[in-house]
Amino acid sequence: AIQLTQSPSSLSASVGDRVTITCRASQGISSALAWYQQKPGKPPRLLIYDASILESGVPSRFSGSGSGTDFTLTISSLQPEDFATYYCQQFNSYVLTFGGGTKLEIK
Amino acid sequence: QVQLVQSGTEVKKPGASVRVSCKASGYTFTAYGVGWVRQAPGQGPEWMGWISVYTGNTNYAQKFQGRVTMTTDTSTSTTYMELRSLRSDDTAVYFCARDRVGYSSGPYNFDSWGQGTLVTVSS
């Protein structure tokens, strides 16, 4: 199965900062990647799909890029509600895997 | 609005089985597949499998093959996930989630989620 490696595993940042999270796939997956946000006690929330398409209702400060094996999620200006854990997920050949997560904390 | 409502907390002994239900509303139930994802305490999500409500076809993660069964009841818009031969490391929150892509042949990603069902396996 394709492995997804996220970095960093945790990150401290301040409101207003620009933040980038990376996700590397163990083999090429074209653009078959999604990003989710999860807060404690809640299910994941889809933010980005097909590597760069913003899900409906998601603020435009979130953006995704990449293809093949290297992907990034960028938050252009952190808001208080953005402090959460972020996961990437791939769906190559209908076998899904999630990354290990990046916990974004308030500095 | 799209809503997925799951059954309640379960406590099971090792070796037992558990069945979690997921009732959908707010959309055409047969148009979208439903996936199941679990999350052990302090861990990331783990995909277990997916079922096409339209065709009944299933796609299980290799790790769960032979131990999991996913079914649907279109008369009640409910999807079920049964996990057998439970072990302590099956303790987790189990989520159902609607696939983003309608009438798909397999899972993609998930745009609506149930609230989660805690399954605890303990002797």
pLDDT in tens, B76-85: 999 999 999 9
**pLDDT value at position A93?**
83
Average pLDDT over residues B25-42: 97
Residue B44 has pLDDT above 90, yes or no: yes
Q: Over pLDDT 70: what percentage of chain B?
A: 100
Distance CA B97, CA B114 (A): 6
Q: Are B40 and A93 in contact (CB under 8 A)?
A: no
Predicted local distance difference test score (pLDDT) of residue A107: 87
pLDDT of B35 reads 98
Give long-range contacts, CB 8 A cutoff, 24+ apart: A79-82: A79/A15, A80/A15, A80/A106, A82/A37
Q: How far is B6 from chain A (nearest CA, A)?
A: 12
Q: How far is CA B33 from the centre of its chain?
A: 11
Chain A contact present for B62, CB below 8 A: yes
* DSSP letter for each residue of A36-67: EEE-TTS--EEEEETTTEEPTT--TTEEEEEE
Selected residue of A96, A97, A102, A103 to mutate for chain B interface (largest B Cβ count, 10 A): A96
Q: Is B61 on the interface with A (CB under 8 A)?
A: yes
Residue A94 has pLDDT above 90, yes or no: no
What residues contact residue A106 under an 8 Å CB cut-off, 6+ apart? A12, A13, A14, A15, A80, A83
Average predicted confidence (pLDDT) for chain A: 96
Give the mean pLDDT of chain B. Answer: 97
What pLDDT sits at residue A92? 87
What was the pLDDT predicted at B78? 98
Taking CB atoms and an 8 Å limit, are B113 and A94 in contact across chains? no
Chain A interface test: which of B110, B112, B115, B118 (most A C-beta within 10 Å) = B110
Query: What are the angstrom distances between the C-alpha of B97 and each of A16, B12, B107?
Result: 32, 23, 11
Tell me the count of A-B CB pairs closer than 8 A.
58
Question: Residue range B32-50: average pLDDT?
Answer: 97
Rounded CA-CA distance B68/A64 in Å is 34
Rounded distance between C-alpha atoms, residue B96 and residue B23, angstroms: 9
Chain A residues with beta carbon closer than 8 angstroms to that of B115:
43
- Is A74 in contact with A85 (CB distance < 8 Å)? no
Q: What is the pLDDT of residue B23?
A: 98
Q: How many residues does chain A have?
A: 107
Q: What is the mean pLDDT of residues B63-67?
A: 97
Q: How confident is the model at residue B16 (pLDDT cuts 50, 70, 90)?
A: very high
Predicted confidence band of residue A10 (pLDDT cuts 50, 70, 90): very high
